[in-house]
Amino acid sequence: MGSYLSRYIDNSAGEESGVTSFHSSERWQLHLNAHKESSQLLVVDFSASWCGPCRFIEPAIRAMAAKFTDVQFAKIDVNELSEVAQAFGVEAMPTFVLLKKGKEVDRVIGAQKDELEKKVEKYRSV
């Protein structure tokens, strides 16, 4: 999955953060399709640049990505990729959608760091 997908991902959030930002629906769809073949947990952070709670929890998300290196973390700006947010039924920010094999297994709505971390722990090895 690595080198093939790296051509389609804009990692402007920084490689060191462990969180991949997507800026096009096509790139996101490629990533999601590739994830359907993987049993690895994917946590999708739906947020917005103007959202205070989103900015507040961002350092905690980066810390989780560094801690849980066996989990993929993705970030999608709901204003930039509104069609992706709509497809996932996102109505509040931040919303974290947890996916396994491309299917939603759980979600956390709001900047609830502890709840998100518990769910990541629960699903990462299931």
Tokens at residue 45, please? Answer: 């952070």
Of 19, 54, 93, 120, the catalytic one is: 54
User: CB within 8 A of 4, min separation 6: which ones?
Assistant: 34
Annotation says 112 is catalytic: no
Active site residue 81: no
Q: And the tokens for 48?
A: 């917005």
CB contact burial 45-74 (16+ within 10 A = b; e otherwise):
bbbbeebeebeebbeebbebbeebeebbbb
The active-site residue out of 51, 78, 81, 99 is 51
Catalytic site positions: 51, 54
